[in-house]
Structure 1
């Protein structure tokens, strides 16, 4: 009698009604749909009268439905993840708000589970799924922060540790299940917990947004090889403290053992990363096997090399001394704009090339780009420290809208006349909203050259003279980068994306024409490839 009195005063009174209401979401407007789901989540978690099992089932369904729209927005964001872009920030905010609402709703589910005295087997399985979803949701929040180079919030670590402790206490930490109905790979709360820990120690501040997402996926595939122990051993490189809501820390001799500490590492997974790296290197050597959508645009090979470094026992550090300063920096980006800037070369540093390969020193480019071809304008940034091979600075507002980790640029310090070639290695969003940048100097004496496909019909009208428009159309810019001793004997080269295939040959103009054979792909970005090469006479 009067059973309706036991029902919550909410449109989503049960799963059946929830499905009906979710069917009315605007399928062609992910932005709006995600906002509506966030509102539903907030109302379902706070409305009294739901049976705990029913509330959990509805929240699980809201999360599943929202994932489709979230993935659409994430794809849009990764397509143009520029840190200072207004549209990008709007997308990011909607996604972040949604994940925050999902996490808060799942926390309510676990609190109700803990307060329920009699728990059915089905409800326990639901609790395990909620733990998996909560840890993954928190990790996705962290990923979004990492994509904008914001340190994950302290509350995120608190929720993460509390969820893992909850799963452990209720003996569901190793329950395996599918996180979402459309996913075939099984997981567990333990598995998801290790994924986010390994993502954090992978130096995400030095990864592009798409690489952060790819790193998380790779961590999921290799989580079975990660170590997680109550006592440290040689394979554990980091530790966490369940009593403190702080990020993982590196192991050191000063760390004292305690019951609340857990030790973890991925050194055993490095061999598997190396196997994948070897396979990918062989595949990438042949241009026709290179997939454009596999971790594009930043490069699968580059990411795997990165993980090899940061998952190993001896992770790279920043050991060079830095000198504080206040000055300015001129910046251009894009390989064509760079080639226009770095044409003034010190002849004395070309002595390591064969004498017939040396180009005469010039004060301007041998082959000029038209104004329309140089897309980037010079920007002025602020420098606050320098080192032997790096520059730290701040990107003023209204500039740097193109900046992403891995972008190449030409830079010129204040009161100098030489343009260097650098790469954006670090980004960080400060507490006051300023964007800090770290640039690695790749070469202080780069050399702009031009490549073209070998002329099999020499003497039939195609020449290198600067005045011929056909020469510019059929040639492509490249940048020679000397080694650490400023020698060109072991130089590498920056070329446009799509130029590399193993042993592919180009003609290179440096005084006399030479043949360049591309021998290895070292690194790749959105609009460039860094390659090794050999030279021979034409």
Structure 2
């Protein structure tokens, strides 16, 4: 009974009052929900930040021990976020802020200790310096990555902190010291330089064109390979691909291959060895030789992402692929639908309407009569045509669609600035149906790029896959439909969108379908408006969370 009470003369153990006290406190909170551990640790670290605990070797030992122990729960929290990207917005926001809060508090606490070493004679804190700097850079990388997930860009102050912290590691001569970042996680040794390279190379991928899972996958690979990149202080023309100014407020920049004016505190590196390792991993995946590969490479979409990163980071490339055509500023309205089912039905209506010869003949006859009688098409005829078009659009539009204002246009795509609140359903690689103003048919497109441009606004870069898509049913070559069985054992239809080579900028024949319907080299029959064509699925050209676009060949 008395064990449930704290004696008035016995002070409760302070978790920052030595490792033993931290161990006692940590053991006591294990009865709580494991998901709450990062939050509880963040609260204790906040006491340290608030000055309630002095910066001493004892408090630093406690702080670093707690940081070590919480890593397992913190990684689980991060994994939960990545595995549930379609969670409700309120849940996503809560989890995002929990992750960012622990990272923020740990960065602040470690920076306080680093400042003590930098500004004063604190030899008692020197043994902690190298690992504190590395952990600070690691948490800064967490903050950067989670901002990328929301298509945000870290501020200049953030990059100034990253550069200054790493510069201190160089000044103190601990930048290349190798050690385990956390004793509780069995991974390879790291260093301040490795952590710095990792955050800099990941920053080069923040173009708004990669999903959260792709960014996290690339970050895992950088964690595995960053030691293959060596920074140099002297700029040699043609030898290096990236550089950074440690006195600046920006992340790494791509060198253009020509002699560049050296920065006052420039650091430069080559990606040759890094790309070699990535190429070996990709070749192993493509060849089916995955036994010797680490689990971080045996993930869905790994080969496609490796190909993209090799193209981006290769010494022979110029960074991100160049645009095929320039954007042209416009201001036009575009109707938008999303979800495979909605797009399929609207495209199908378009196909059926466009095969109606009577409607086309009727419109052409009116114009021809006007031309014969008056020498031009009268306004009355144009009004009748507009009314007929409006009636047709009303007839062939099912469900609800949105209307966006397009801000720019290029050959093969559009760009639009959208309010975040009204469009929180938008995801990278989301499949869209588009109907530009003054047209009466739907196009097939995907969201290729997202970025935050202002408070409450985001920019969406849209790629058109087909200007004249064709709705098809996908059947097995035995005549059965391809969508599985219902409860009564009846074969269900599987829906897809056929993309003709002549109707898309990529100039390939392909089918967009549900991910579950795709299997490489599978022979199927595509049925549309009474016509059948036998094809065989080939490689995937693009994929989203629930769909794939695969190239098809005629199956003789």
Return the structure number with greater helix share: 2
1:83-122 alignment, distance < 5 Å = 85-114=89-118, 117=121, 119=123
- 2:553 corresponding residue in structure 1: 534
- 2:134 corresponding residue in structure 1: 132
1:390-401 alignment, distance < 5 Å = 390-401=413-424
Question: What is the TM-score when the length of structure 2 is the normalising length?
Answer: 0.79
User: Cα distance 1:21–1:292, how it changes in 2: closer, same or farther (>3 A)?
Assistant: closer
Residue by residue over 1:423-471, the C-alpha shift from the partner in whole angstroms, topping out at 9 and shown as x without a partner, is: 211111233221221111122122221212221xx6xxx689xxx9999
- Please say if residues 523 and 555 of structure 2, whose CA atoms lie closer than 8 Å, have aligned partners that are also in contact: no
- Please say if residues 508 and 514 of structure 1, whose CA atoms lie closer than 8 Å, have aligned partners that are also in contact: yes
For 1:470 and 1:492, the matched residues in 2 are separated by 32
**Residue 210 (str. 1) matches residue 229 (str. 2):** no
- Runs of 4+ in structure 1 off by over 6 angstroms are 346-349, 468-472
Q: Which has the higher contact order (CA 8 A, sep 6+)?
A: 1
Secondary structure, aligned partner of 2:407: strand
**Residue 220 (str. 1) matches residue 223 (str. 2):** yes
Moved more, 385-394 or 328-337: 328-337
- Please say if residues 523 and 530 of structure 1, whose CA atoms lie closer than 8 Å, have aligned partners that are also in contact: yes
- 2:497 corresponding residue in structure 1: 479
1:310 deviates by: 1.4
- 2:466 corresponding residue in structure 1: 443
**Residue 305 (str. 1) matches residue 310 (str. 2):** no
Residue by residue over 1:467-517, the C-alpha shift from the partner in whole angstroms, topping out at 9 and shown as x without a partner, is: x99999433112222336649983122221133333222222244433322
Residue by residue over 1:236-267, the C-alpha shift from the partner in whole angstroms, topping out at 9 and shown as x without a partner, is: 23321111122222324583123411223424
For 2:86 and 2:305, the matched residues in 1 are separated by 19
Residue by residue over 1:102-128, the C-alpha shift from the partner in whole angstroms, topping out at 9 and shown as x without a partner, is: 1111111222334564747xx645322
For 1:382 and 1:86, the matched residues in 2 are separated by 27
For 2:243 and 2:171, the matched residues in 1 are separated by 20
User: Cα distance 1:66–1:27, how it changes in 2: closer, same or farther (>3 A)?
Assistant: farther
- 1:276 corresponding residue in structure 2: 281
User: Cα distance 1:183–1:480, how it changes in 2: closer, same or farther (>3 A)?
Assistant: same
User: Cα distance 1:93–1:327, how it changes in 2: closer, same or farther (>3 A)?
Assistant: farther
1:81-480 alignment, distance < 5 Å = 81=85, 85-114=89-118, 117=121, 119=123, 124-181=126-183, 182-230=185-233, 231-252=235-256, 253=258, 255-283=260-288, 295=299, 299-312=301-314, 313-315=317-319, 316-318=321-323, 320-343=325-348, 344-345=350-351, 378-455=401-478, 473-480=491-498
- 1:515 corresponding residue in structure 2: 534
- Please say if residues 482 and 490 of structure 1, whose CA atoms lie closer than 8 Å, have aligned partners that are also in contact: yes
In structure 1, runs of 5+ residues without a counterpart are 1-6, 286-290, 350-362, 364-370
For 1:169 and 1:26, the matched residues in 2 are separated by 41
Residue by residue over 1:161-194, the C-alpha shift from the partner in whole angstroms, topping out at 9 and shown as x without a partner, is: 1121111112211111111122222111111111
Question: What is the TM-score when the length of structure 1 is the normalising length?
Answer: 0.81
- Please say if residues 412 and 505 of structure 2, whose CA atoms lie closer than 8 Å, have aligned partners that are also in contact: no
**Residue 501 (str. 1) matches residue 522 (str. 2):** no
1:66 deviates by: 3.3
For 1:138 and 1:86, the matched residues in 2 are separated by 24
In structure 2, runs of 5+ residues without a counterpart are 1-10, 356-388, 390-396
Choose from 468, 485, 491 the match for 2:509: 491
For 1:453 and 1:229, the matched residues in 2 are separated by 58
- 2:84 corresponding residue in structure 1: 80
Secondary structure, aligned partner of 1:173: coil
- Please say if residues 148 and 206 of structure 2, whose CA atoms lie closer than 8 Å, have aligned partners that are also in contact: no
Moved more, 476-485 or 490-499: 476-485
**Number of positions where the alignment pairs a residue of Structure 1 with one of Structure 2:** 492
For 1:531 and 1:200, the matched residues in 2 are separated by 30
CA RMSD across the alignment: 3.7
Who wins on radius of gyration, i.e. which is larger?
A: 2
User: Cα distance 1:463–1:216, how it changes in 2: closer, same or farther (>3 A)?
Assistant: closer
